[in-house]
């Protein structure tokens, strides 16, 4: 939630990514953290990095939310189209 606040409301994606890096160090990387990073990179239009992370999440075989999966696939398509 803190990363979303930094990214979407404070317009500070760098701080949002730092927050997620801290979370990864503290709790280990998981699909939710990777997805959150991909979302931030997508919003920054860092299409290559976002697509790389979206591929990681998609290959994680544990994403149960079909709505979120649809958004991820849309973002991946936009990223691929912009490369």
Task: Provide the angle, in degrees to the nearest 10, between the axes of the packed helices 31-43 and 13-27.
Answer: 170
pLDDT at res. 61: 62
What is this structure's pTM?
0.87
Which DSSP state fits 12?
-
**Contact at 8 Å (CB) between 74 and 37?**
no
**Mean confidence (pLDDT) of the chain:** 91
pLDDT at res. 27: 92
What would the pLDDT profile of 40-49 be if each residue is shown by its tens digit?
999 999 999 9
What is the rounded distance in angstroms from the CA atom of residue 82 to the CA atom of residue 49? 12
What would the pLDDT profile of 29-65 be if each residue is shown by its tens digit?
888 899 999 999 999 999 999 999 999 887 666 666 7
**Contact at 8 Å (CB) between 42 and 50?**
yes
Helices (H), 28-65: 31-43, 47-58
pLDDT at res. 47: 97
pLDDT at res. 60: 60
């Amino acid at each position: 939630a803190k990363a979303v606040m930094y990214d979407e409301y404070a317009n500070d994606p760098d701080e949002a990514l730092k927050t997620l890096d801290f979370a990864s160090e503290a709790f280990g990387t998981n699909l939710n953290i990777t997805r959150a990073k991909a979302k931030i990179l997508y919003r920054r239009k860092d299409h290559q990095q976002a697509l790389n992370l979206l591929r990681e999440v998609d290959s994680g075989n544990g994403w149960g939310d079909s709505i979120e999966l649809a958004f991820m696939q849309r973002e991946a398509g936009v990223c691929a189209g912009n490369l």
